[in-house]
Amino acid sequence: MAYTACNGNEGPQAWACGQERNERWLHLAAEHAARPFHLLLQGGDQPYADALWRIPIFAEWRHQPWRQRRNAPFTPAMAEAARGFFFDSYCRL
């Protein structure tokens, strides 16, 4: 069995220290290759979702005044954009 949690911060300077960004994932893959896991539990944030705010529909919402944001509906277009973002992120990662 293996358990994973957060992989780190996805900020632009998060890996400026020179460390391999996927060091822990590479270690886990090597362990699995040597002795395959029967179960992998994932907790925490596997993909950080900060990039969601770069999607135009969410960037526009985020830059509205707080009162306007708070009262704005979560539209079908927003739901579709979020669904696509998370689906693509999980598939890619």
Query: Using one digit for the tens of pLDDT, what is the confidence trace for 2-32?
Result: 988 776 555 555 556 656 667 888 899 999 9
| Partners of 41 in beta bridges | 3
Query: Using one digit for the tens of pLDDT, what is the confidence trace for 50-66?
Result: 889 999 999 999 999 99
Domain ranges of the chain: 1-46, 47-93
- If one compares 46 and 87, the residue with the highest pLDDT of the two is 87
Distance of alpha carbon 23 from alpha carbon 4, whole angstroms: 13
3-state helix, strand, coil in the chain (%, to 5): 50, 5, 45
What pLDDT does 43 receive?
Answer: 79
Distance of alpha carbon 90 from alpha carbon 75, whole angstroms: 23
